[in-house]
């Protein structure tokens, strides 16, 4: 015990100055480590939220003469384009095809839906059916590309635009020089790959008869 000037006694600490310093240093290091861990976790979380989920580019279209018609495949042609129109092939085991008739020209559009999901793609000559794909989605996308479509002779035959959002969902809008167009809104990549089968089936009907 230590005698004070006023007669009171105080217990003498058994800790040396070095022990006290080490104790405070340990607390400080633990607090610093916790702070660094929290900041690192937040940084990783924000990076994952902001980083795009990359998606592969759809295959380029190589347009040529259509193969012979086959059973079990729905052949889509736009009557508005007449004999100049592009044909798209939708296998019945993959797609469900709905024809939509309207009062004003162009009277017909097609909505093609995956049987295994709700993903859909539209075939129509009307630019109004693709306004969001032309204007809105390119603005809000993490990545956008636009490429020319060429026929077997190398002649430019339209444009093929695509991109993906930060979520990885992919969209595509393809317009041919015949006036035919096809497109789908942002869709999970695995479903978009299936929709691309329809886009890439585009071909010239033989002698305008198919």
pLDDT tens for 95-119 read 999 999 888 777 789 999 999 999 9
At the topology level, CATH places domain 62-208 in Protein Transport Mog1p; Chain A (3.40.1000)
Q: pTM higher than 0.85 for the full model? A: no
pLDDT in tens, 67-83: 998 899 999 986 555 55
Nearest C-alpha neighbor of 85 from the set 59, 113, 108, 112: 108
């Amino acid at each position: 015990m230590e005698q004070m000037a006023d007669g009171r006694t105080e217990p003498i600490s058994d800790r040396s100055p070095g022990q006290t310093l080490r104790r405070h240093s340990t607390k400080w290091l633990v607090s610093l480590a916790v702070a660094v861990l929290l900041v690192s976790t937040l940084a990783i979380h924000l990076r994952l939220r902001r980083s795009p989920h990359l998606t592969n580019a759809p295959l380029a279209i190589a347009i040529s003469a259509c193969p012979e018609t086959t059973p079990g495949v729905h052949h889509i042609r736009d009557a508005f384009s007449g004999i100049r129109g592009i044909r798209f092939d939708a296998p019945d085991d993959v797609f469900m095809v709905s024809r939509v008739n309207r009062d004003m020209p162009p009277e017909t559009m097609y909505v093609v839906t995956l049987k295994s999901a709700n993903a859909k793609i539209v075939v129509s000559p009307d630019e109004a059916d693709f306004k969001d794909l032309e204007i809105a989605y390119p603005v809000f996308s993490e990545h956008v590309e636009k490429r020319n479509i060429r026929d077997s002779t190398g002649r430019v035959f339209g444009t093929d635009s695509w991109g993906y959002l930060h979520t990885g969902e992919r969209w595509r809008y393809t317009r041919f020089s015949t006036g035919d167009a096809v497109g789908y809104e942002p869709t999970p990549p695995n479903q978009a790959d299936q929709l691309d089968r329809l886009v890439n089936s585009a071909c010239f009907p033989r002698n305008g008869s198919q």
